[in-house]
Amino acid sequence: MATERYNARASEPKWQKAWDAAKLFETKNDDSRPKYYVLEMFPYPSGRIHMGHVRNYTMGDVVARHRRALGYNVLHPMGWDAFGLPAENAARDRGVNPRSWTYQNIEAMKAQLKVMGLSLDWAREIATCDPSYYKHQQKMFLDFWKAGLVERRSAKVNWDPEDMTVLANEQVIDGRGWRSGALVEQRDLTQWFFKITSMSQDLLDSLDTLDKWPEKVKLMQANWIGRSEGLLLRWKLDAATAPSGETELEVYTTRPDTIFGASFMAIAADHPLAKKAAEDNPKLASFIKDISHRGTAAADLETAEKQGFDTGIRVVHPFDPAWTLPVYVANFVLMEYGTGAIFGCPAHDQRDLDFANKYGLPVTPVVMPEGADAATFRILEEAYVDDGAMINSRFLDGMKPKDAFDAVAERLSGDVLNGRPQGERKVQFRLRDWLISRQRYWGCPIPVIHCDSCGAVPVPASALPIELPTDVTFDRPGNPLDHHPTWKHVECPQCGKDARRDTDTMDTFVDSSWYFARFTDPWNETAPTTLSAVDGPKGWLPVNQYIGGIEHAILHLLYSRFYARAMKATGHLNTVAEPFEGLFTQGMVVHETYKGPDGWVTPAEIKVEEFDGSRKAFLLTDGTPIEIGAIEKMSKSKKNVVDPDDIIGSYGADTARWFMLSDSPPERDVIWTEAGVEGAHRFVQRLWRLVSEAAPGLTGVAPAAAHDGEAAALSKAAHKIVKSVGEEIEKLGFNKAVARIYELANALQGPVSDIAAGKASAELKAATREALDMLVGLIAPMMPHLAEECHAELGGAGLVADKPWPAYDPALTVDSEIVMPVQINGKKRGDLTIARDADQSAVEKAALALDVVQKALEGKTPRKVIVVPQRIVNVVV
C-alpha cells in the first residue's frame, strides 16, 4: 500500500506550536509531584548553535521528556552565559554595541533551539548580562565579602597581553591564555579574590559523596586541589655566606625522609632571599630578570630546560653542622607554592636530578628497591621514586621511607632554630584563590567604591545594580570602563568625598557559578534565590542530572561547588552544598577533514565517491581531487563543521536528534557522517510507514497484550523492550535504548504487513496496536515530533508529550523457556530448550531424549545425571 513520506518540515513546527499552546514545558514550583531537575550547561551566545550543542541538548531533552512521562515535575530551563570577550571584540572590530550584538545572537540561537523541539521552560530564560541577573550577583559579592570569603590583595597575576586582562590560574593552559592563546606574563596587581582555598579540604572530601559523577572528573578535581602532607623545614644559613640580616631558609617538602640525599637548595626567582642576594650580584640580578619573564604555569616548568644560578649562599644540614649545601636560584621553583624554596634531592626527584646532572651536583641515593644492594645501587638518568628501604641515611638506615618521614618530623619538631621548631608538619594544597577581577567592559561590575580616606567601600545594597554604562568606546586598548569620562567618578558612600568606582568586572565564570540556582526562581526581584524554591524539602537543588562537556571538569564545576558553599554560608542556600548530584560529560562531535590544493574545504563543498572499496573526494565545483584527512573535533579552523541548520533543514530535527543518540555511547565521540544521518532518516521514514500502513486496519482496535498463540511473540518482545529502554535511558545509555527500539520496529514488521494484507487475527491486531502505541511512547523523548504525528495517525487523543511512559507487564518480560547447555562427561555436546519452570525430572528426561545424548549412551543407562536448575545438565556415561 502506498503511503506518503513523512514530511518533517511540515510536521515539526506544527507540534512545536501545539506544545507551546498547551504550555507543556512551563514548570511550576508548587506542584506536588516529585521534582526532577535536568540541566545542560548553558551556551555562550556566539550567534549560532553547533553540533556539540545539538548533541548536548538532545541528551538533556531525552532525560527531561522521559522523566516527565514518568510523572515527575521536571525543571528543564535554558539561559545564556552572555558576558565575555567576543562581544567586546565584535564591538572593537565592527563597531557594534556589545549589548545589541549579544541580544541579537540570543534571538538567533533561541530560534535554532526552538527548531530542535526541545522541551524547555522558556518562561525561566535568563541572560547573565541582564542587570536583573547581575544585580543579585553584585549583592552576593558583597555578602561574600562581609563573610570573609572575598579578599583584595596584591598578587603576582597572570596577565594576558592580547586580551589585556588578568586570568585565573585555571584559565592559563600551558602558559597561554585560555581564550587568546597568547603567552601569559606575570604582573603585580591589586585584585579581588574569592577565597576558594578556605574550602580546599571540604571541596576535596566531598568529592567522595558525588557517586553519580564520572570518576575521571573527580580525579581531575582532586589533583587540581592537590593536597599534600609534608614538612616545613627551616635550614640555618651558613653565617659566612649569608647576606646580612638573613639567618634561615624555610622550605616545604613532602619527602623529609630523603634529607640525607639533599645536595642543593633551590629558591624561586622572586624569593626574598634571591632578591637580597641579587642586590650586590649584577649577574644574579640579570639571571633573575631573565627567567622571571617566562611563564610560570606548572606545565611549562615540567618541560622547560632547568636553569639555575649559584647564589654563593650556603645552608647547614639540620643533622650535621659540618655539612653545608649551595643555594641556587632556579626556574623550576614557584614562589606561589609552599615557601618558594626547596631542598633538592636528585636521586629521588626527576627535576632535581636533571638539575644536578646539569650543574654537576652530587647524586646520593637514600632509598633503594627492597632487596637491592646498597653498595652498588646507583642513580644515573632516572630518579627512583618508588617505595623501598632507606640507605646512606645514618639513623634512618633500614627504615621504610614512611617511617623515616615520621622519624625526621619527630626529631626536627624538637630541634629549635631562632626560637622556633626547626620542622613542622604541614598540609599543603595546590589550589590557589580564585582571582575574579577582569579589566574588561562586558562583565558584571564589581560593586565597590575606592575612597582615599575610607579605602574600599561596598556599594550600598539599595544602590544595586551598578549597571554598565552603554556609551562606551572600544577605539583604544584597555578597559573602556576606565576610559569612560564620568562613570567611575562618584561620591564615597561613607564620607561623601570624591571617590572612584572599581572599574574591573567579574570573571564570567562567576556568572555561571550560580545560574542553576537562579533558574529555580528567576522571578525573585529582591534576592538571588527564594529559599523555599532553591533547596530544602521543596526545593529544586541539587540539579539531579547535569550534562556538559569534559572541558569544564575543573573550572566551571569546581567554581560552582565553591560558590554553592559560599551561598550557603551567606544564607542564599539552605541545605545544599553540592550543586550537581549527577554529572554526565558527553563526548564530542567529530568529522572527517578535507584538504584541497588551497587548504581546508568544508564537507558541503565536496562529494565523496567510492572506487573499488576506497573513498575519494572531489570538489563539487570543478572536480579537483581533495585529500580526505583525519577525523577531528568539528572546528572552524579545519572547516570540518556541519551546520545544524542545514541538517535540520533537509532532514528535520528528529533525524538529527536520532543520529546524535544512536551512533555511539554518549560519553564517547560521535563521528558525524552523511551516511549515518541518512540511515537515521531512513529509520524515521520506516517508522512512519509502519504506523501509516497499520493505522487503517487498527481503527477501533483496543490494545491488548497476547500471552500465548502466534501474537505472543510480539507482545513479549514489546514488553521486554519497553522495560529495557526505560532502564537504558535512566542510565543515559541512549545508544542502547536506540538499538532496542530498532528491534521493536523489526518485530512489528511482519504483523503490520499481515494487518495491511487483511490477514491478521483479532489477537494479533490487538497486540500490534499495543506494541505500536508502545513504540510511539518509546521514541517520544528522542523523536518527539514523529511520535506526535504517529500518535495522531493511530487516532490517539491529546499529545504524546503529555502521556505517561509506556507500562510493561513484568510477566511478559521473563522468558518462559530457557536454553540449558548439555554436557556429556563434562564436555558441552548440545543445548536443551525447555520451560523455565520445568522440574528436575522433566529436565533429566528431556536431556536424555536428545539425539546427542542417545548416541553417546549407545543404549546403556547413564551412570549419573546432574541437573543444576536453570543452568546446566551434565550426563555421565
The C-alpha cell at 409 is: 618530623
Rounded to the nearest whole angstrom, what is the least distance from the CB of residue 27 to Zn ion in the complex? 46
Q: Tell me how far CA of residue 735 lies from CA of 66, 658, 716, 732, 782, in angstroms.
A: 15, 9, 22, 9, 11
State the binding string over 178-217 for ligand ANZ (x if CB under 6 A, else -). Answer: ----------------------------------------
Q: In the range 342-401, which residues lie near ligand ANZ by CB under 6 A?
A: 342-343, 345, 348-349
**From the list ligand ANZ, Zn ion, none, which binds 847 (C-beta under 5 to 8 Å, kind-based)?**
none
Q: In the range 771-810, which residues lie near ligand ANZ by CB under 6 A?
A: none
Rounded to the nearest whole angstrom, what is the least distance from the CB of residue 574 to Zn ion in the complex? 36
Rounded to the nearest whole angstrom, what is the least distance from the CB of residue 143 to Zn ion in the complex? 21
Neighbours of 719 (CB within 10 A): 23
Can residue 495 be called a binding residue for Zn ion (CB under 5 A)? Answer: yes
CA-wise closest residue to 562 among 136, 195, 207, 39: 195
DSSP annotation of 319: T
**From the list ligand ANZ, Zn ion, none, which binds 454 (C-beta under 5 to 8 Å, kind-based)?**
Zn ion
Phi, psi of 761 (to 5 degrees): -75, 165
**From the list Zn ion, ligand ANZ, none, which binds 285 (C-beta under 5 to 8 Å, kind-based)?**
none
Can residue 252 be called a binding residue for ligand ANZ (CB under 6 A)? Answer: yes
Q: Which of the stretches 311-319, 337-345, 414-422, 449-457 binds Zn ion when contact is defined by CB under 5 A?
A: 449-457
Cβ atoms of 345 and 258 closer than 8 Å = yes
Q: Give the span between the Cα atoms of 832 and 821, in whole angstroms.
A: 6
Q: Give the span between the Cα atoms of 440 and 104, in whole angstroms.
A: 21
Q: Give the span between the Cα atoms of 123 and 29, in whole angstroms.
A: 12
Q: Give the span between the Cα atoms of 466 and 26, in whole angstroms.
A: 31
The C-alpha cell at 548 is: 556538559
**From the list Zn ion, ligand ANZ, none, which binds 495 (C-beta under 5 to 8 Å, kind-based)?**
Zn ion
Q: Which of the stretches 27-35, 317-325, 331-339, 847-855 binds ligand ANZ when contact is defined by CB under 6 A?
A: 331-339
Cβ atoms of 480 and 526 closer than 8 Å = no
Residue position matching grid coordinates 573602556: 480
Can residue 451 be called a binding residue for Zn ion (CB under 5 A)? Answer: yes
**Residues making up the chain, counted from first to last:** 877
**From the list ligand ANZ, Zn ion, none, which binds 52 (C-beta under 5 to 8 Å, kind-based)?**
none
Q: Which of 46, 97, 180, 494 binds Zn ion (CB under 5 A)?
A: 494
Can residue 867 be called a binding residue for ligand ANZ (CB under 6 A)? Answer: no
Residue position matching grid coordinates 553584585: 138
Cβ atoms of 499 and 457 closer than 8 Å = yes
Can residue 331 be called a binding residue for ligand ANZ (CB under 6 A)? Answer: no
Q: Which of 254, 350, 624, 664 binds ligand ANZ (CB under 6 A)?
A: 254
Q: Give the span between the Cα atoms of 742 and 782, in whole angstroms.
A: 13
Can residue 333 be called a binding residue for ligand ANZ (CB under 6 A)? Answer: yes
Q: Give the span between the Cα atoms of 319 and 315, in whole angstroms.
A: 12
Neighbours of 770 (CB within 10 A): 22
448 versus 786: smaller Cβ distance to Zn ion: 448
308 versus 579: smaller Cβ distance to ligand ANZ: 308
Rounded to the nearest whole angstrom, what is the least distance from the CB of residue 412 to Zn ion in the complex? 49
In 206-303 the beta strands, taken as DSSP E runs, fall at 227-237, 248-253, 264-267
Q: Which of the stretches 123-131, 249-257, 437-445, 767-775 binds ligand ANZ when contact is defined by CB under 6 A?
A: 249-257
247 versus 453: smaller Cβ distance to Zn ion: 453
Q: Which of the stretches 332-340, 454-462, 810-818, 844-852 binds ligand ANZ when contact is defined by CB under 6 A?
A: 332-340
453 versus 854: smaller Cβ distance to Zn ion: 453
SS3 content of the chain, % helix, strand, coil (to 5): 40, 25, 35
Torsional class of 268: left (φ above 0), alpha (ψ -120 to 50), beta (otherwise): beta
338 versus 528: smaller Cβ distance to ligand ANZ: 338
Residue position matching grid coordinates 615557601: 339
Neighbours of 478 (CB within 10 A): 14
Q: Which of 18, 24, 222, 334 binds ligand ANZ (CB under 6 A)?
A: 334
446 versus 648: smaller Cβ distance to Zn ion: 446
Do the strands 185-194 and 248-253 form a parallel or antiparallel pair, or are they unpaired?
A: unpaired
Can residue 453 be called a binding residue for Zn ion (CB under 5 A)? Answer: yes
Q: Which of 253, 422, 715, 768 binds ligand ANZ (CB under 6 A)?
A: 253
List residues binding Zn ion (CB under 5 A). 451, 453-454, 492, 494-495
- Binding positions for ligand ANZ, rule: CB under 6 A: 228, 252-255, 258, 333-334, 337-338, 340, 342-343, 345, 348-349, 428
